[in-house]
Amino acid sequence: MKTGTLLRLSAVLEAATGVALIAIPEVAARVLLGTTLSPSGIAVARVGGFALLSLGLSCLPGGEEVTPQAVRALFIYNLLAGVYLGYLRFGGGFDGFLLLPASILHALITLLMVRPAYKAIRRD
């Protein structure tokens, strides 16, 4: 898979998740974590949604141009998100419908981004 395509896919997924967290944080929490949110949890989920939307939009490549900063940002995000979501599923006591698939998807994107991320780091 081309780096631009992979970056575009990852950026769009994060932006879409951000929109979901902003618009319907209760539903997002239910399908991802299998739990409900307190009022403060809703507020924090929306702020997290702002961050994911911003990350996705800022890393979305224009045309075929791929910046090393976008590659590094999405690589690190997917690595941390995959590990943490996996922890929540297997060690954190959460069992939402989308938790394991989300963890696997983040891990897969991370693996696909290892080489482009390495090249991005070497450019600097």
Nearest Cα neighbor of 75 from 42, 114, 31, 104 is: 114
Structural domain of residue 41, as residue ranges?
A: 3-123
Please report the pLDDT score of residue 37 as a whole number. Answer: 94
How many domains does the chain contain in total? Answer: 1
Q: Provide the pLDDT for residue 124.
A: 61
Q: Enter the tokens of residue 19.
A: 């929109």
Cα 23 to chain centroid distance, Å, stands at: 17
pLDDT at 3: 83
Structure tokens at 98: 């989308």
pLDDT in tens, the chain (124 residues): 788 889 999 999 999 999 999 999 999 999 999 999 999 999 999 999 999 999 999 998 777 778 888 999 999 999 999 999 999 999 998 988 999 999 999 999 999 999 888 887 777 6
HSE (CB half, 13 Å, CA atoms) of 39?
A: 0
